[in-house]
């Protein structure tokens, strides 16, 4: 007999487990199926984000930042620590502990919300009487389940270069890049996107000589151009060697190294040997093992599950959220879609505002933005006013000893509505939340400027940038 549920969620990443919790809160009988287990078969719910994404990368960024601070900046504070030794095993072990804590936290949440957590790979078997039949296999064991609604949250996987599969020893995806057993002397990275810059920064701080090869002629083209320019300058000063306009022509995997041959932007051929090569050139949707054909579930040409703006697929009561559907591949976007879908299933009016999804790079300095860039708005011929304020003129940043970067507020010239906020500097990841709130309420630059911000805080830089929109900064 198949086990029956109101809602079956496939995938326990941020899209899936959050959708399961919200559906359970709304009174549905819910199961969440996830295939991720460790080498001992222990379940690891949380998806890419928890296991090989957001959480472990932030743990390594934090540890490596402490290491760099201790080496380069403690002395300015009058703290002498003698010789500093890196224990990479401990550092990686701490990262694994943080991941484990998150895996356990999600299992606790499943129990708390009376969600049945099923470990295994779910596949569609068929549909009958407006219900979907699925099977879940784990090793030799297979169980049948049956649901009125199915939410697919199967996520994404790293994109490999043609003819260069990941071996996770020399050629690394994000998973291998989070677990290099010894700090490489020379580390190559293909792709100067979010992973390349975050994980490139981690290994540079730990002592590797890092070269990042980026195909596009422009650095960080997705960000505001002024922010990207500042970022490139700062990363170069830190010693991250970024080559834009690099065309990778050949990658040879040797016994203990990888040789990459590429053409530079000036058309010069370069051959470089690295101890490891991280390939971070984007991610692709993951639907392997789902057997969409059994029910006629439609994928688009790029392999994403096709959905409308409400995350409905071509099949009634089958929904899809997160990295496996269009839109930015971000954990918080997946979560928002998961909540909205659960609410729609329960007859409510869940909504995701795709215009106010923040983007963050957890490098140092951090980079965060929400809304449109100046170059986009100019291209769209919007009349705008721009205000910027440097952290150099912010008291808290000076006290922290971290004055790199600036906050930038872009507002409509006539209505003063905030259209985009871009921050490069300390704690930009936290500062951006205020901008998201203001934009969600369709607020104006003057609203930010008139709100009382605590002193001394970094958030005063955002307020001053809003004042700068009207050319009336107080501290510059």
Residue 327 interacting partner from ligand FAD, ligand NAI, none (CB closer than 5 to 8 Å by kind): none
| CA 12 to centroid of chain Cα atoms | 16
Q: Where are the alpha helices (DSSP H) in 261-313?
A: none
Annotate each residue in 191-220 with x if it binds ligand NAI (CB under 6 A) or - if it does not, as one string: xxxxxx-x--------------xxxx----
Nearer to ligand NAI, 193 or 387 (CB): 193
Residue 248 interacting partner from ligand NAI, ligand FAD, none (CB closer than 5 to 8 Å by kind): ligand NAI
Binding-site size, ligand NAI (CB under 6 A): 23
Q: Are strands 30-34 and 116-119 parallel, antiparallel or unpaired?
A: parallel
CA angle 260, 266, 268 (to 5 degrees): 45
Q: Tell the smallest beta-carbon distance from residue 367 to ligand FAD (Å).
A: 12
* Separation CA 132–CA 146 (nearest Å): 6
Does 361 engage in binding with ligand NAI (CB under 6 A)? yes
Categorise residue 376: left if φ over 0, alpha if ψ from -120 to 50, beta otherwise. alpha
Return the structure tokens found at 367: 């980079």
Number of C-beta neighbours around residue 156 at 10 A? 22
Residue 47 interacting partner from ligand NAI, ligand FAD, none (CB closer than 5 to 8 Å by kind): ligand FAD
Does 410 engage in binding with ligand NAI (CB under 6 A)? no
Q: Are strands 258-263 and 269-274 parallel, antiparallel or unpaired?
A: antiparallel
Region 310-339 residues binding ligand NAI, contact defined as CB under 6 A: 328-330
Does 343 engage in binding with ligand NAI (CB under 6 A)? no
For 29-49, letters b (16+ CB in 10 Å) and e give bbbbbbbbeeeeeebbbbbbb
Q: Tell the smallest beta-carbon distance from residue 79 to ligand FAD (Å).
A: 30
Nearer to ligand FAD, 51 or 373 (CB): 51
Nearer to ligand FAD, 153 or 386 (CB): 153
**Burial category of 85 from C-beta neighbours within 10 Å (exposed 0-12, middle 13-18, buried 19 and up):** exposed
Does 253 engage in binding with ligand NAI (CB under 6 A)? no
Q: Tell the smallest beta-carbon distance from residue 60 to ligand NAI (Å).
A: 12
The closest alpha carbon to 197, from 17, 337, 326, 57, belongs to 57
Region 174-193 residues binding ligand NAI, contact defined as CB under 6 A: 190-193
Residue 30 interacting partner from ligand FAD, ligand NAI, none (CB closer than 5 to 8 Å by kind): none
- Contact present, 98 and 63 (Cβ < 8 Å): no
Residue 473 interacting partner from ligand FAD, ligand NAI, none (CB closer than 5 to 8 Å by kind): none
Q: Tell the smallest beta-carbon distance from residue 390 to ligand FAD (Å).
A: 26
- Contact present, 232 and 220 (Cβ < 8 Å): yes
Residue 13 interacting partner from ligand FAD, ligand NAI, none (CB closer than 5 to 8 Å by kind): ligand FAD
Nearer to ligand FAD, 118 or 439 (CB): 118
Q: Are strands 366-371 and 418-425 parallel, antiparallel or unpaired?
A: antiparallel
Nearer to ligand FAD, 15 or 425 (CB): 15
Dihedral angle at the C-alpha atoms of 250, 253, 258, 263, nearest 10 degrees?
Answer: 0
Q: Which residues does the annotation mark as catalytic?
A: 455
Q: Which residues bind ligand FAD (CB under 6 A)?
A: 10-16, 33-36, 47-49, 53-54, 57, 121-122, 153-156, 174, 195, 286, 289-290, 322-324, 329-332, 334, 362
- Run of H or E including 432: helix 428-440
Q: Which residues bind ligand NAI (CB under 6 A)?
A: 190-196, 198, 213-216, 248, 280-283, 328-330, 360-362
């Amino acid at each position: 007999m198949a086990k029956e549920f109101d809602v079956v969620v496939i995938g326990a990443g941020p899209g899936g487990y959050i959708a399961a919790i919200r559906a359970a809160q709304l009174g549905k009988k819910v199961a969440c199926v996830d295939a991720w287990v460790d080498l001992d078969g222990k379940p690891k719910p949380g998806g890419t984000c928890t296991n090989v994404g957001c959480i472990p990368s932030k743990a390594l960024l934090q540890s490596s930042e402490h290491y760099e601070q201790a080496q380069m900046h403690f002395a300015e504070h009058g703290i002498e620590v003698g010789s500093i030794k890196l224990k990479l095993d401990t550092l990686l072990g701490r990262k694994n502990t943080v991941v484990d804590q998150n895996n356990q936290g999600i299992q606790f949440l499943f129990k708390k919300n009376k969600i049945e957590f099923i470990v295994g790979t779910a596949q569609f078997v068929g549909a009958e009487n407006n219900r979907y039949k699925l099977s879940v296999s784990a090793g030799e064991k297979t169980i049948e389940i049956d649901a009125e609604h199915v939410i697919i949250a199967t996520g994404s996987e790293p994109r490999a270069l043609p003819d260069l599969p990941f071996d996770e020893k020399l050629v690394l995806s994000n998973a291998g890049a989070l677990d290099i057993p010894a700090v490489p002397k020379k580390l190559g990275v293909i792709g100067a996107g979010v992973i390349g810059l975050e994980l490139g920064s981690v290994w540079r701080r730990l002592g590797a000589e890092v070269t990042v090869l980026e195909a596009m002629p422009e650095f960080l083209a997705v960000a505001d151009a002024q922010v990207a320019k500042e970022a490139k300058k700062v990363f170069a000063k830190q010693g991250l060697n970024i080559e834009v306009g690099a065309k990778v022509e050949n990658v040879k995997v040797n016994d203990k190294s990888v040789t990459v041959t590429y053409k530079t932007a000036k058309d010069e051929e370069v051959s470089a040997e690295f101890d490891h090569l991280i390939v971070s050139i984007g991610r692709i949707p993951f639907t392997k093992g789902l057997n969409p054909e059994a029910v006629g579930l439609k994928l688009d040409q790029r392999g994403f599950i096709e959905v409308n703006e409400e995350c409905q697929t071509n099949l009634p009561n089958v929904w899809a959220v997160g990295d496996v559907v269009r839109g930015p591949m971000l954990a918080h976007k997946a979560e928002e879609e998961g909540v909205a879908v659960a609410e729609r299933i329960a007859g409510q009016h869940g909504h995701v505002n795709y215009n106010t999804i923040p983007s963050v790079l957890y490098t140092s300095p951090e980079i965060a933005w929400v809304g449109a860039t100046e170059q986009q708005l100019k291209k769209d011929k919007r009349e705008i006013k721009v205000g910027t304020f440097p952290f150099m003129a912010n008291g808290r940043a000076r006290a922290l000893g971290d004055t790199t970067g600036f906050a930038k507020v872009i507002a409509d010239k006539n209505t003063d509505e905030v259209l985009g906020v871009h921050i490069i500097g300390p704690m930009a990841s936290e500062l951006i939340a205020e901008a998201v709130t203001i934009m969600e309420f369709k607020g104006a630059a003057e609203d930010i400027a008139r709100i009382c911000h605590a002193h001394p805080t970094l958030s005063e830089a955002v307020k001053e940038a809003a004042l700068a929109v009207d050319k009336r900064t107080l501290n510059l």
